[in-house]
Copies of this chain bind each other. A is one copy, B any other.
Amino acid sequence: MPTASGHTDAIQASRVIGADVYNTNGERIGEIKDVMLEKTSSGIMFAIVGFGGFLGIGEKYHAVPWSSLDYDVDAGGYVVPFSKEKLEAAPSYSVNELTKDDGILARDQAYDYYGVQPYWH
């Protein structure tokens, strides 16, 4: 059910893709390029946040735990509870690196790096 602030707990993937992502300073760090979905667990592995690059060249990707993304209506995008410094020092990947081995390495590194409770057992 929507909370008093209007937030809901469920969202369509098509609405997530392309949304902006902000850090705790309110600075835009990038946008959600995609969301990695796992079949056997029906788990949302992570959001793929693209950042950097110029005119489409050199963009790198972060894997960000899905549960860390809070939609902020005022910001018009997602806020993650991580500082600029924390995000800048996070592991980054090419698309191939993110998706090889079914994304498990990127997922495990992300949850470990950000200290987020795993959704899996």
Contact = CB atoms under 8 A, between A and B. Distances in A.
Interface of A: 1, 8-14, 16-17, 33-45, 48, 65-67, 69, 99, 101-104, 119
Q: Is the interface of A mostly helix, strand, loop or mixed?
A: mixed
A38 B10 contact: yes
Contacts of A102: 1, 8-10
Contact of A119 (B10, B16, B17, B41): B41
Given A43-B44, A102-B1, A35 B12 contact: yes
Contacts of A10: 36-39, 45, 99, 102-104
Contacts of A103: 10
Given A35-B37, A39-B66, A66-B39, A12 B44 contact: no
